[in-house]
Amino acid sequence: MADRSFWSTLRIFRYSLVLILFPFVHYSGFLATDADKADALQLANTFHAQMTHGDSDGIYDDADKAFQNAVSRDHHDAYLASIASHWGTPLDCTPSNIGVRFGFGSKMMSAECSTRFSNGYTALEKFRWKKTDNVYHLYYYAFHSK
């Protein structure tokens, strides 16, 4: 009888542990507050304003160190220049799929933006930002044509 109780307790503990650790391993939309959604829109708008003004150095310099280690400045500059030459400047962004993930001492936020560009095209942009010292820094950026 004690053996059965032990296995039941272990099973409950295992499921509880999964529920507790879920926010640490996956971006969860249900954890995103209204403030997170507003932050995501503001961060995307700031990124787009810097793109519009050709400030790729400002984007790169403010990015998270992991981003800078993964992407060279030359590659980053060429990527944004290619977007600007083919797509134009970003006009507006409709954010979706906003999620947050908590780490030990950090917070990550992900978002997708359906963005209209001045050359008449719409693209899907994927962002991730890492919050360090109460400030979000770009951690990941991807651009996909629609």
**pLDDT computed for residue 132 by the predictor:** 87
Q: What is the three-class DSSP state of 133?
A: coil
Higher pLDDT, 18 or 133: 133
The average confidence (pLDDT) of the chain is 85
Domain ranges of the chain: 27-145
Lowest mean pLDDT among 7-11, 18-22, 39-43, 73-77: 18-22
Instruction: Output the pTM of the full model.
Output: 0.79
Name the fold adopted by 27-145.
Nuclear Transport Factor 2; Chain: A, (3.10.450)
Distances in Å between the Cα of 71 and the Cα atoms of 62, 90, 105, 133, 143 are: 13, 22, 24, 22, 15
Task: Confirm if 83 and 51 have CB atoms less than 8 A apart.
Answer: yes
pLDDT band at 36 (very low <50, low <70, confident <90, very high): confident
Strand order in the sheet with 135-145: 90-103, 106-117, 122-132, 135-145
Beta bridge partners of 95: 113
Task: Confirm if 141 and 90 have CB atoms less than 8 A apart.
Answer: no
* N- to C-terminal Cα separation, the chain: 60
- Whether 119 shows a pLDDT value over 80: the answer reads yes
